[in-house]
Amino acid sequence: MPHESCRVGESFGRSRRVCETVPVTDGPALAIFDLDGTLVDPAGSITGGIAYALEVHGLRVPGPEGLSSMVGPPLLESLRRVADVPEDLLDAVVHTYRKRYISHGMAESRPYPGIPELLVRLRQRGLHLAVATQKPENLAKRLLALHGLDAHFHSIHGAPDETLPPAADGKAGIVRAALTANHALPARSVMIGDRRHDAEGAAANGIPCIGVAWGFAPEGELDRLGLVGIVADADELERTIGAVVLRAAEAPAC
């Protein structure tokens, strides 16, 4: 029978008590993961590929900090904002980058330490797992399959091809697709990511977000996002996921 489930949540620095009349024990506990910078270390394949594509087209290459900031957001957004790529060259730069990423970049990337084992343990605990990334969905699936990670996930969600306009709701819509595909309640779900886009996508769907310290966030970015935790390794991540999504089923009544 439905009853009121309450939790104390934070969204971008503001604490609030959230009460919903929902059957909190219905639906799976769901952990939604970002991809690059969270599950998989691109090992320079993204930044190197962007630099290569810019050089090929005679464009300015940002410094290391600027290139790193381009990992996570939609590529078109980063090319405009960070690299000042003219509109008439965007499609060509993306095509050059994507061709090199497929031929070289994916093979250079590696899962972060402890991540494959973590995914196995979370599945054994009965959690549903999903991926929500702003990488094009077809490439996300290829990358996960290359590293043998795809079988751990109940669903994988990404952006449309990068030559197409991004969805108006960005990461929020991708996270929402993961919730819908898994018939999961926000009260029993959590997002895991390394950038502000992950926290924003989670907040837009009413779910908490855990930050990982090994990704590509500029210094101080994660500290400003009102995350439920920032973790340093896969073991700490497992404990935090369990604390967030498994205790939600036992939340006290209002």
Structure tokens at 102: 């497929």
Query: Does residue 34 have an active-site annotation?
Result: yes
Element (H, E) at 2: none
**Selection from 239, 175, 168 nearest residue 206 by Cα:** 175
Provide the residue type at 47 as one letter: T
**Selection from 192, 143, 206 nearest residue 31 by Cα:** 192
For residue 134, give every residue at least 6 positions away whose Cβ sits within 8 Å of its Cβ, in sequence order, or none.
Answer: 72, 73, 74, 158, 159, 166, 170, 171, 174, 197
Distance, in Å, from the CA atom of 192 to the CA atom of 101, rounded to the nearest integer, reads 24
189 neighbors 179 (Cβ within 8 angstroms): yes
- Among candidate residues 34, 41, 194, 198, the one labeled active-site is 34
Structure tokens at 136: 């094009």
Structure tokens at 161: 């091809």
154 neighbors 182 (Cβ within 8 angstroms): yes
Structure tokens at 187: 């009260």
Distance, in Å, from the CA atom of 2 to the CA atom of 207, rounded to the nearest integer, reads 19
Cα dihedral across residues 207, 154, 176, 2: positive or negative: negative
Element (H, E) at 97: helix 90-100
The residues carrying an active-site annotation are 34
